[in-house]
Amino acid sequence: MVIASEFFDLNTGAKIPSVGLGTGQSDPGVVGRAVEFAIKVGYRHIDCSPLYGNEKQIGLVFKNLIAEGVVKREDLWVTSKLWCTDHAPEDVPAALDRTLQDLQLDYVDLYLIHWPVRMKKGAVGFKAENLIPVDIPSTWKAMEALYDSGKARAIGVSNFSTKKLSDLLETARVPPAVDQVECHPLWQQTKLQEFCKAKGVHLSGYSPLGSPGSSWVKTQVLKHPVITEVAEELGKTPPQVALRWGLQMGHSVLPKSTTEARIMENFDVFGWSLPGDLVAKFSGIEQARLVEGTPFTSETYGSYRSLEELWDGEL
């Protein structure tokens, strides 16, 4: 039985807080209040990206809370990501500098390649004609330089399949510390989890509740009978059970919410655990990937002709 702690160890020696607040799909107007509330109730891990369009608002909160003495910078774990339009090696440091300026920080604790996908510089949106062939090794070398500089205390990837992560590990001077991927009881990433553990790469799970607020998601993770029955048996909520399952699998979880009650509920996952017999029930859940990445495939443009190629068969 894995007893989940409040931190996981990375291959850099750093400790990543096991529960983070996701900030995707959070409007700039409300995300600041959500981040402020989360930090005040104990969250120390905030997951950001320039794609989300709200890093400036989050930066204001960081600045104010640090100035007020609510939290010290060294006690925060801030992740951000390199977007697909900035993969050219010469564009990578400028992209991080923009993020640092927006977040009002001198460094990020973790900087990730958001997708193994490249788009034309300055492209807006997800049009197929903006896709161009990806060159992960050259982008990664630029990421390694950011690690060397101290502006990114750890570097990693996101949405990388087992094969893409394996390929990167073969050429990387600095191995990725993290692969952040969709992970929840209905998409358990068993193969990737085992590979990451064997290679010393930490898996971090986004959409650990299955993105319940997203209109495009047809499968309701939190309504699955295994999760609702376990929650009822333990006197917990379905989100708490889904998050606790992730922690006991050994990966950090990044639930998104802008609602104060849910932000608190999602953090109440320590001091109790799922017994082994209940954990075993999760292995029988039928699997379904929710985030497919269809806009990153094209018969004409970019590197991937199909979802099969994007995910290397992990569908």
Q: Which residues are catalytic?
A: 52
Do 110 and 60 form a contact (C-beta atoms < 8 A)? no
Label each residue of 239-303 as H, E or C.
Answer: HHHHHHHHHHHCCEEECECCCHHHHHHHHCCCCCCCCHHHHHHHHHCCCCCCCCCHHHCCCCCCC
- DSSP for 192-205, written as a single string: HHHHHHHHTPEEEE
Instruction: Name the 3-class secondary structure at 26.
Output: coil
Do 20 and 79 form a contact (C-beta atoms < 8 A)? yes
Degrees to nearest 5, angle at CA 306 with 301 and 309: 100
